[in-house]
DNA sequence: CAGGCTAATGATAGCGCTAACAGTGCAAGC
DNA sequence: GCTTGCACTGTTAGCGCTATCATTAGCCTG
């Protein structure tokens, strides 16, 4: 009873083709394919069979235009190669999975101008919502977001004013907490190693600001600092650590702006036979899973990335019954993971 | 002379709004915003000013429907947290940058069924092309791809038959080459450590097949193997290595299915004071930049990921003037990077 | 000065789908 | 019988844009 497949070379199929092939109206086909409204079992079968046989794939562009609904959620992040963002994505994807919404990723490469373009591009597809990393955007970008008429969630930072909602941790606070832990453990000659920041990474900058604030409160200040950009983070961590300790052999603590360079530094210190955490302590930032396999667990601070992704997606999906109409603020508490590279008090 | 910004609370703007605000027809506005056709300088200015003032963002859905053109390229990959795929993405993004095309990422989590859904979803947006990792897809997925009517590029593997074009390396060959190098270096008791594959990673499987083929040709076979799934790859690499060497202390070479577990194994071996590569050799796969910072460079094989991304994007963008009409096949040569964990011959 | 050209702009008709409403047939209720 | 209600299916009118063709004014050519 199966009719032969239709060989028709190439005109892209429309609802009409399926409608003709199955002998019902386009509307009925549309209903079947979307599982909407009442359709008799017999008709449903007939339509599905025809659609399958033809290899019909609905045109969501037309559907979206007609229904004024788009099941996409834009996600704008600075980079994919950072390991940090994929984890946020995981939280977002998981949460959206059963909502019919689909995340679409855009990458800004830490460039504000590029970010603006990406946001423009995304909004022009009229998504159901937008998740954007960070609170710092160009003025035009902020204006677009504010105008968009859909939920906007800025994530991974809450030190600032959001356009709409924001979810994440306070990096300033995270930096402060880490400094306090380090000082409490008795370290006094503390140095910082991180990315070149002024242009790029606002979150790393805020972390450092908080860190220095807390040092100042303890009557201390950074004794040295070292910056890098580009290249393999692990290798850079090594090089920077070596350079810094050659220059300032008296330093007794190294605070890294991320775990990867911290791991590089740790490997170098261990190879040199330095007593970690006795002679020198180390700490990074992020709680990357990767670190589990290192010879010693690097002290770090969890940035609650998974939770952040989940909460952001929930706001967009309207799963959060907070009573608040938009403009939610969700702060997570960064957790210190002392690991084995900071003295126990 | 600047008119005040319009506060209009919230009805999303259309071309008509801009047209009314600037006193020309919608068509002219459309022309200005797309830089198409002749428009006098005076009119252009007027329109742009109005569009900016209103904060108008064009509706690409409507535009795409009307013009039957969509500037999106779908990219379907198994995972974002693998480090491998972000690098391919980099190649794709760079190449598409100046073509007006935009990549859109979809993630299949190594599940064929999920992949099918993602492909369906992407095709329903009628993209200009699709880039899909791997050659193994569900039958339905293959049918959809074949029907799509746009360029399809399957990447990162060429051991099989493509739907349309394919770009990448032969994993079978890569496995073979690695085995030959290992045998040539004098190792004889060789073990394999990798992911649980049957269900998942076809490329890892093909690599292993090629590897065993070449061993067989040298009259050898794997003396042991160890599989894992999930968890921190670095930590797993450690654990598996320890388990395997406890079980078979006579093994003299460990072939890992990826660099991360290889790195974990390397760290463990070095801690144990094993003579690497004298007493035992190690090799991974992929050439992840990360490895640069390790105490010793792990032997590995570059999978040409950047080049693969670039070439795939070029095919979609029509930048490749090969004379071939679709159905291109581009093979890259995986390069052995002997590092410091395999004996010099 | 008709005829023809160009440059700039407008009018019209969809793109492929869905919302909203309008049937249609049939069984049950009075 | 007629009404009422229900289950199903069809009709109509856009969604916001762009392709295409038509129109207008201005200017040149012979």
Domain count, chain A: 3
* DSSP secondary structure letters along A65-79: HHHT---EEEEEES-
> What average pLDDT does this structure show over A161-167?
97
| Within a domain: A8 | no
More confident residue, A181 or B295: A181
What is the rounded average pLDDT for all residues in chain A?
A: 92
The Cα of B327 is separated from the nearest Cα of chain A by a number of Å equal to 17
Q: Residue B204 belongs to what domain range?
A: 171-302
Q: Is B232 on the interface with A (CB under 8 A)?
A: yes
Distance in angstroms (rounded) separating the CA atoms of residues B152 and B146: 8
**What's the rounded mean pLDDT across residues A178-186?**
97
Residues of A from 58 to 77 whose C-beta is within 7 A of strand C: which are they?
58-59, 62-63, 65-67, 69
Q: Is residue B150 part of a domain?
A: yes
Q: With contact defined as beta carbons under 8 Å apart, do A137 and A116 qualify?
A: yes
CATH at residue B59: 1.10.260.40
Record: contact B65-A60, CB cut-off 8 A: no
Instruction: Kindly state the tokens that stand for A283.
Output: 């700490």
Strand D bases within 7 angstroms of protein beta carbons: 7-20
Residues of A in contact with B290 (CB under 8 A): 232-234, 260
Could you tell me if B50 and B113 lie in one domain? no
**Cα three-residue angle B94-B98-B104, rounded to 5 degrees:** 60
How far is it, in rounded angstroms, from Cα B303 to Cα B9?
A: 53
User: Domain check: are B125 and B271 in the same one?
Assistant: no
Considering the domain boundaries, does residue A326 fall inside one?
Answer: yes
Would B206 be classed as within a structural domain?
yes
pLDDT of residue A80: 83
- Domain annotation covers residue A225: yes
Three-state DSSP at B219 gives coil
In tens, the pLDDT along B206-234 reads 999 999 999 999 999 999 999 998 888 89
Question: B293, B295, B296, B309: which to substitute to probe chain A, counting the most A Cβ within 10 Å?
Answer: B293
| Pairing label, strands B300-302, B335-337 | antiparallel
Q: Which CATH number fits the domain that encloses residue B153?
A: 3.40.50.2300
Q: End of a domain among A31, A50, A66?
A: A66
Residue A89 in this model has a pLDDT that exceeds 50: yes
In a domain, B341, yes or no: no
What confidence score (pLDDT) does residue A2 get? 43
**Nearest nucleotide (C1') to the CA of residue A64?**
C17
Q: Please identify every stretch of chain B with a pLDDT value under 50, giving residue numbers as ranges.
A: 1-8
Nearest to A55 among B147, B231, B295 (CB): B147
CA distance linking residue A158 with residue B123, whole number of Å: 37
Residue A324 contacts B, CB cutoff 8 Å:
no
- Does residue B7 form part of some domain? no
B65 with A70: Cβ contact below 8 A? no
Whether residues B179 and B86 fall in one domain: no
CB contact under 8 A, B81 and A87: yes
CA–CA separation, B55 and A140 (whole Å): 9
pLDDT over threshold 60, residue A5: no
Nearest to A98 by CA among A327, A343, A310: A310
CB A203 within 8 A of CB A171: yes
Same domain? For A187 and A296 the reply is: yes
Answer yes or no: do B239 and B249 share one domain: yes
Tokens linked to B156: 């990162």
Are residues A195 and A253 both part of a single domain? Answer: yes
Output the six-digit token pair for A214.
């807390």
Do B23 and B133 reside in the same domain of the chain? no
- How many other C-beta atoms can be found within 10 angstroms of the C-beta atom of residue B176? 20
If asked whether residues B279 and B322 sit together in one domain, one would say no
Tell me whether residue B344 is in a domain.
Answer: no
Residues A33 and A47 in one domain: yes
Residue A310 and residue A163 share a domain = yes
- For residue B197, count other CB atoms closer than 10 A to its CB: 17
The answer to whether B48 CB is within 7 Å of strand C is: no
Residue A25: nearest nucleotide (C-alpha to C1'): D10
């Amino acid at each position: 009873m199966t009719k032969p497949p239709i060989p028709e070379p190439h005109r892209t199929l429309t609802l009409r083709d399926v409608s003709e092939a199955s002998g019902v109206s386009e509307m009925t086909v549309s209903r079947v394919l979307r599982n909407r409204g009442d359709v008799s079992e017999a008709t449903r079968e007939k339509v599905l069979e025809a659609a399958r046989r033809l290899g019909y794939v609905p045109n969501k562009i037309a559907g979206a235009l007609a229904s004024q609904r788009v099941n996409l959620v834009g996600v704008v992040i600075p980079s994919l190669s950072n390991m940090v963002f994929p984890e946020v994505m995981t939280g977002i994807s998981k949460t959206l999975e059963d909502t019919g919404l689909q995340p679409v990723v855009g990458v800004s490469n830490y460039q504000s101008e590029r970010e603006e373009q990406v946001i423009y591009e995304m909004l022009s597809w009229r998504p159901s919502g937008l998740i954007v990393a960070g609170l710092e955007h160009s003025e035009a970008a902020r204006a677009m977001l504010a105008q968009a008429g859909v939920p906007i969630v800025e994530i991974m930072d809450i030190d600032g004013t959001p356009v709409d909602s924001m979810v994440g941790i306070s990096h300033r606070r995270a930096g402060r907490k880490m400094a306090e832990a380090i000082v409490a453990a008795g370290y006094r000659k503390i140095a910082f190693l991180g990315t070149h920041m002024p242009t790029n990474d606002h979150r790393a900058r805020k972390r450092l600001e908080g860190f220095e604030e807390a040092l100042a409160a303890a009557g201390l200040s950074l004794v040295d600092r070292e910056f890098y950009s580009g290249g393999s983070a692990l290798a850079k961590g090594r090089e920077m650590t070596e350079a810094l300790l050659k220059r300032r052999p008296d330093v007794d603590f190294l605070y890294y702006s991320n775990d990867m360079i911290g791991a590089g530094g740790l490997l170098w210190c261990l190879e040199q036979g330095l007593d970690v955490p006795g002679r020198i302590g180390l700490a990074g930032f992020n709680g990357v899973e990767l670190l589990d396999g290192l010879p010693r667990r690097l002290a770090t601070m969890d940035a609650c990335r998974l939770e952040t992704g989940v909460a952001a997606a929930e706001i967009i999906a309207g799963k959060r019954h907070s009573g608040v109409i938009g403009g939610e603020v969700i702060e997570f508490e960064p957790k210190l993971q002392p690991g084995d590279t900071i003295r126990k008090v």
